[in-house]
Structure 1
């Protein structure tokens, strides 16, 4: 979480990519009212900067976010799932994010994530 947009209540979510903060989407749905209010207060109390549109914060709170897919390096239809107080922000990397398979049973491991499944893909991104 790196910013809060004042006009619409969206929280900007980011991960680390090549040791830099990389924004991957905005989330507003899925929060219980008390979770959203608590997160907003924490951001206000710990802000690293502010302007007319945003309150900025250094990475400090990790979230689980469910989403449909990744399109142009942004999450489509992200919904908050839960806070992850067991993780540190620097462990939320692009590599872990990309290889995380959200629909696989926990006992299945991906051994070769870079290996193509199809020789000729019909659809291009």
Structure 2
């Protein structure tokens, strides 16, 4: 999971989630797994899709950290994988599922729309 999580973070944010030791980031990834908040699709023992429930409160689960392996992108994997994650989250964690996506990420927008998501607001994230 660590390579997939690291790749997702680096691609999304533009820099790696840690410099030097991966101990703290590894602990964060492990905590999501231990809580049952990480969902993966494996092919031949390799993560090809991942998503996390990064926040869970007041009956809402926010999905984050969605990632598809580069060599599997554009092959129709994301929408059915997201459908499975959403269905599981609705059945086991919360009656409402949300996420946010960068407006320029057309493949993600298509996948999320295909999984039943609809846009309800627009906002900007500022990373310092």
Q: Which gives a bigger RCO, structure 1 or 2 (Cα 8 Å, sep 6+)? A: 1
TM-score over 0.5 for the pair: no
With structure 1 as the length reference, what TM-score do the two structures score? 0.30
More strand by share: 1
Greater C-alpha radius of gyration: 1
